[in-house]
Amino acid sequence: MSLRDTLATAWQAICRQPYIGAQAFFGLAIGTAALLGALALGQVGIAGNDAHSAVPSRLEIFSENSYAPAAISDGRQTVALTTADVAAIRRLDGVSSAAASLLRFSRVNYADSSLPISVYAVDADYFAAHGWALTGAFSAQDFSDANNADANSAVILGSSLSAEIFAEADPTGKIIQLGGSNFHISGVVSAKDASTFFGDYATAVFMPLPTAQGLFAGSNELSGDAIGQISVRIVPGADVASLQQQIRSLLRRQHGLASNQQDDFQLRDFSALDGTNQHSAVWSPRMLVDIAMIALLLGAAALSRIMLLSVDDRAREIGLRIATGADPRAIQSRFLAESVMIAVAAGIFGMLLAAVSAFWLEQTTDHRLHLSAVTMLTTVILACAIGALCGLLPANKASRLNPAVVLRDR
């Protein structure tokens, strides 16, 4: 029997029971896609474990009840944190970097454009603490150097804001106006980096803390060493929970809080939002494997049922073939081939689904999933094996039909 005829009869088997057929096809396809994702994540998170372990976690500390800068409605943060707190946190074992920042709201003016924006006043460690890549003439240290005259009038744009104002043109060196003062743009924060974190960083402006203190001199929260937020980057392998407790105890001592007083700050673990959770390389493949197993089992059960129903529907045809001298092994091979064809078609669709998902993930996050040729080949072999197993019982049933009984009853 030709490949074309096998495909045609396999398609007819699905069409006879469209609901069960869809369950079989999409169950196997989703299972295949999930399994491919698990294998790809395994290559990155298990075979490439060193790369994942090198990615640190991030903690954010906010003043009093300000869970996040975006939650502030009056343009100011209630201040409980200071630069002394940042210095104390930097001395803790397990802390890679700690950065001070404070949020203000303003408008950016350039040519005919006037946009409301968030202004983040930051120190030199801020970009390293968030793991952001900068493009432009200044390094993070130059940008926040109070003795650097150029840095005092420099700002960095989030890439979405840069694209909104300057389209595809390079904004470096151009002059914008903030709070009635002119600033030159020294660089851009990558949107792929910034947009994955909590907050509207990709549409924000960043400037050195000393510059902001001069620009917004009338703001109480920008006086002295007061800040509104601390970003803490944790070295790989450090105990995040233990370090959180150390930071909480340290800040309570720094702020002179009694044991019966509540924290005057908010401490949050932002590792999951960064995609840098230390356990993500372990549980993500396991989760996908669980999804794959459930989907494959449901799809395999539906495929086996489809083939059994196909044997019943074609019992008279099978009886006639056997009565006219057809080899029962040929009948058996035909049903096995049909079952394998359905499983392979679903597997190919699942591979396409996995490839599209990997491309989307690469474009929207920092994750890279490499679907290797070996992984693809393994998937095809698995699909063939599932198809053969699901078709084995129906094929045996078809090859053992008694033509006399079938032709008499039907």
Q: Is residue 234 located within the same domain as residue 356?
A: no
pLDDT (0 to 100) of residue 23:
84
pLDDT (0 to 100) of residue 144:
58
Residue 286: closest CA among 55, 37, 28? 37
Q: Is residue 91 located within the same domain as residue 141?
A: yes
Q: What is the pLDDT of residues 266-291, one digit of tens each?
A: 888 876 555 444 444 444 567 778 88
How many structural domains is the chain composed of?
Answer: 2
Q: Is residue 80 located within the same domain as residue 195?
A: yes
53 pLDDT higher than 70 = no
224 pLDDT higher than 70 = no
Q: What is the pLDDT of residues 104-118, one digit of tens each?
A: 888 889 988 888 888
1 pLDDT higher than 60 = no
pLDDT band at 394 (very low <50, low <70, confident <90, very high): confident
Given 274, 298, 325, the domain boundary residue is 274
pLDDT (0 to 100) of residue 225:
76
- Cα–Cα distance list, 200 to 70, 103, 157, 273 (Å): 8, 11, 12, 13
Q: Is residue 230 located within the same domain as residue 328?
A: no
Secondary structure in 3-state letters for the chain: CCHHHHHHHHHHHHHHCHHHHHHHHHHHHHHHHHHHHHHHHHHHHHHCHHHHHCCCCEEEEEECCCCCHHHCCCCCCCCCEEHHHHHHHHCCCCEEEEEEEEEEEEEEEECCEEEEEEEEEECCCHHHHHCCCEEECCCHHHHCCCCCHHHHCEEEEEHHHHHHHHCCCCCCCCEEEECCEEEEEEEEECHHHHCCCCCCHHHCEEEEHHHHHHHCCCCHHHCCCEECEEEEEECCCCCHHHHHHHHHHHHHHHCCCCCCCCCCEEEEECHHHHCCCCCHHHHHHHHHHHHHHHHHHHHHHHHHHHHHHHHHHCHHHHHHHHHCCCCHHHHHHHHHHHHHHHHHHHHHHHHHHHHHHHHHHHHHCCCCCCCCHHHHHHHHHHHHHHHHHHHHHHHHHHHCCCHHHHHHHC
- Mean per-residue pLDDT over the chain, rounded: 76
Q: What is the pLDDT of residues 191-207, one digit of tens each?
A: 444 444 445 677 888 98
Segment 73-87 shows an average pLDDT of 67
Q: Is residue 128 located within the same domain as residue 249?
A: yes
d(CA 99, CA 90): 9
Q: Is residue 173 located within the same domain as residue 202?
A: yes
- Is there a contact between 344 and 10 (Cβ–Cβ < 8 Å)? no
Given 243, 274, 305, the domain boundary residue is 274
Domain that holds residue 107: 56-274
Segment 232-258 shows an average pLDDT of 90
pLDDT band at 341 (very low <50, low <70, confident <90, very high): confident
Q: Is residue 264 located within the same domain as residue 289?
A: no
Residue 126: closest CA among 276, 227, 249, 272? 227
Residue 351 CA to its chain's centroid (Å): 19
pLDDT (0 to 100) of residue 95:
92
Q: Is residue 187 located within the same domain as residue 236?
A: yes
d(CA 62, CA 82): 11
Identify the burial level of 217 via C-beta atoms within 10 angstroms of its C-beta, where 0-12 means exposed, 13-18 middle and 19 or more buried: exposed
Given 251, 274, 297, the domain boundary residue is 274
- Is there a contact between 102 and 221 (Cβ–Cβ < 8 Å)? yes
pLDDT (0 to 100) of residue 79:
52
Q: Is residue 25 located within the same domain as residue 47?
A: yes
100 pLDDT higher than 50 = yes
Q: Is residue 211 located within the same domain as residue 285?
A: no
Segment 70-82 shows an average pLDDT of 50
Tokens read off for 255: 């702020």
d(CA 72, CA 151): 28
d(CA 171, CA 156): 10
365 pLDDT higher than 70 = no
- Is there a contact between 139 and 270 (Cβ–Cβ < 8 Å)? no
* pLDDT winner (highest mean) among 189-203, 294-308, 355-369: 294-308
Q: Is residue 211 located within the same domain as residue 111?
A: yes
Segment 365-381 shows an average pLDDT of 73
Q: What angle do CA 259, 262, 265 make, to 5 degrees?
A: 125
Q: Is residue 256 located within the same domain as residue 131?
A: yes
217 pLDDT higher than 70 = no
Q: Taking the CA atoms of the chain, what radius of gyration do you get in angstroms?
A: 31
Worst-scoring range by mean pLDDT, 176-185, 188-197, 330-339?
188-197
Strand partners, 95: 234
